[in-house]
Amino acid sequence: MKKAGIIGLAFAMCLVGSFAVAANGTFDYDALAALRSAVDSKPAPAAKPPAAKAAPAAKAAPVADAAYDACCQDTCAPSCCESPSCCESASCGCGCAKCCEPWTLPQPCCMQKLGIKLGGWLEQGITFNPNSPVDRFNGPVAVNDRSNEYQMNQFWLYATKPTNTGGCGWDWGGHIDMMYGTDWRYGIGYGLEDRINGHDDLYGMVLPQVYGEIAYNNIKIRGGRFAGLLYYEVVPSPMNFFYSHSYTMCYTEPQLVTGFMTDIQLGRNWLLQAGMTQGWYMWEDENNKKDFMGAVTWTSDDKKTSLKYALTNGNQVNLGGNHGGNWFAYGLVFQRHISENLKYVLQHNYGVADNVMPPVAGGGDAEWYTLNQYLEYKISPKWAAGMRFEWMRDDEGFRVGGPGTNPDFPTLHTWKGNGYAGNFYEITVGLNWRPCKSFVVRPECRWDWYDGADSWVPQQAPTYHRLPFDDGNRSSQFTFAVDAIWTF
């Protein structure tokens, strides 16, 4: 089976010239501003031939700006801002732009002086499952895992101060995230969130990122808790196209890690990253053995094509505290902006874990690998369409399972299935609708199916589900989901 990972690597390398990737090891909060500014944006006017130089115009009398000055106050003048075309025209003056800007958290002057920005979002959604499973879970689908039930997935607040040396000199910065919602169950760091929250709570709090950073010239070093490197989809919901997540993200890569990371920017095209972490899902390291995590990213001059190879390697503590062997995983992510409106993404992950399988499953090592593709098309500034097609192979039935199957968290309020040695497939199609700059609605239809053996978990065990879907009775599932995100 290890040949499959090598074949996937070779296949991906053949496509290096055609795809691109996002690179950094922290979540890109600047991307939120870019998404908001894209709504209601207008193309730049065509260039006009230079006109003959005219004599400078006399300065307008103050009274001529009185109407605009009224719009520039905290309370916008109705004559300016109630016009339907106000936000689409500069003719209303400076106040109109202020009226049309989305609301944001108040920014205290003391924080502004330090370059610290506050922000956040609220994500809410619901997933309709015609099977109506008794346990109210959508099987391995995450993080919209509750069937026919409202979820407040993320109420997220952050404070951030990015470092920016301009390539020369010193700077300091940092970042703090706080999130409350149902997604907490998929972001547990051992020794942190398991102490903050009750294991049987559906809603809880997570600290996705807490780190400080220093920068010198083109080098950055951060320490604390931050995003891993083997990703395309990320934990912050507004930065993803779809409401639901891929198997690749949920089951084959460490999403949040604790340790330190160094970024070295080499010219315009290359980024090197290397650091040490506590391990997969660890705030406190149970075995006192550190993992290596690193990445190499190449980006084209026009920023339309890039490639990232990332890996993690180190000894892990197995489920229930049993000391196992080494875990190795890598991820390849390609992105290609085929045109101004069309983007293609290919992701391939591979992993192997030594000496992790329990005797009931035959013992030995575990191996998994995925191939995941995306097409995202911007129809207009307010509408976009997307499709995701994914295949994941869980060779020994080790990776795909609910967080509640971990013996360390036996009462965790999640799906209890695990032990599926076989192939998982999913295809998702969806839309993004942005009626205004700070609001997005994401409807999607998703079809999942499983091709493999019944669960190897003993039938008398509380975590036994013969098949992954519909209380263990089905090998496939259709869901329709929709969420709404308000950013501020």
For residue range 101-141, list pLDDT tens digits in order. 788 999 999 999 999 999 999 999 999 999 999 999 999 99
Q: Report the CATH number that the domain containing residue 237 is assigned in CATH.
A: 2.40.160.10
Is the torsion defined by CA of 124, 129, 133, 137 positive or negative? negative
For residue range 41-96, list pLDDT tens digits in order. 444 444 444 444 444 444 333 333 333 333 334 444 444 444 444 444 444 444 44
Q: Is residue 463 domain-resident?
A: yes
Chain centroid, CA 266 distance in Å: 26
For residue range 383-415, list pLDDT tens digits in order. 999 999 999 999 999 999 987 676 666 668 888
Question: 56 in helix, strand or coil?
Answer: coil
62, burial (CB in 10 Å: exposed 0-12, middle 13-18, buried 19+): exposed
Question: 478 in helix, strand or coil?
Answer: strand
Q: Is residue 236 domain-resident?
A: yes
Question: 177 in helix, strand or coil?
Answer: strand
Tell me the one-letter amino acid at 124. Answer: Q
Q: Is residue 385 domain-resident?
A: yes
Q: Is residue 438 domain-resident?
A: yes
CA distance 109 to 458: 60
Q: Is residue 214 domain-resident?
A: yes
For residue 25, what pLDDT band results from cuts at 50, 70 and 90? low
Give whole-number Cα distances, 403 to 29, 359, 410, in Å: 28, 21, 9
Q: Is residue 79 domain-resident?
A: no
Pair of tokens at residue 22: 């996002």
CA distance 224 to 281: 13
Tell me the one-letter amino acid at 71. Answer: C
Give whole-number Cα distances, 166 to 114, 171, 214, 217, 439, in Å: 17, 10, 13, 7, 32
Q: Is residue 68 domain-resident?
A: no
DSSP 346-370: EEEEEEEESS---GGGT-S-EEEEE
Q: Is residue 285 domain-resident?
A: yes
> Taking 50 as the threshold, does the pLDDT of residue 281 lie above it?
yes
Domain membership of residue 275 as a residue range: 2-36+103-487
CA distance 476 to 474: 6
- Note the pLDDT of residue 263: 98
Total domain count, the chain: 1
In this structure, what are the phi and psi dihedrals at residue 298, rounded to the nearest 5 degrees?
Answer: -115, 135
